[in-house]
Chains A and B, each alone.
Chain A
Amino acid sequence: MNPPVATPFFFYLLAGTMLIGGILVITRRNAVHSALALIAALLAQAGLYLMLYAPFVAGVQIILYAGGIMVLFLFVIMLVNLERVQKERQFNKQWLVGIAAAGALGGLFITIYTKGKGIFLDRAMPSGLEAENTQKISVLLYGQYMFAFEIASLLLLVAIIGAVVMAKKRI
Chain B
Amino acid sequence: METLLNISTLHYMVLSAALFLLGVIGVLTRRNVVIVLMSIELILNAVNLNLVAFSHYWQSIQGPNALHGQVFAIFVITDAAAEAAVGLGILIAFFRNKETINVDEVNLLKW
Contacts and interface: CB of A to CB of B under 8 A. Distances in A.
Contacts of B26: 25-26
Nearest to B44: A65
B77 A61 contact: yes
B25 A98 contact: yes
Contacts of B67: 133, 136-137, 140
Contacts of A115: none
Interface in A78-121: 79-80, 82, 85, 88-95, 97-99, 101-102, 105-106, 109, 113, 117, 120
Contacts of A162: 85-86, 89
Interface residues of A, number: 86
A9 to B, nearest CB: 10
A126 B88 CA distance: 43
Interface residues of B, number: 79
B92 A76 contact: yes
A11 B88 contact: no
Nearest to A132: B64
A120 B84 contact: no
Given A25-B26, A25-B38, A73-B34, A122 B8 contact: yes
B65 interface: yes
A1 B52 CA distance: 21
B95 to A, nearest CB: 5
A49 B52 contact: yes
A53 B49 CA distance: 12
B35 to A, nearest CB: 5
Contacts of A129: 59, 64
Given A25-B42, A117-B10, A148 B75 contact: yes
A92 B81 contact: no
Contacts of A136: 64-65, 67
Interface of B: 4-15, 17-26, 28-32, 34-35, 37-39, 41-42, 45, 48-49, 52-53, 55-57, 59-61, 63-65, 67-68, 70-71, 73-75, 77-86, 88-93, 95-96, 99-104
13 contacts: A7-B7, A18-B15, A22-B19, A25-B22, A25-B26, A34-B34, A56-B74, A57-B52, A73-B37, A76-B92, A77-B34, A80-B95, A141-B71
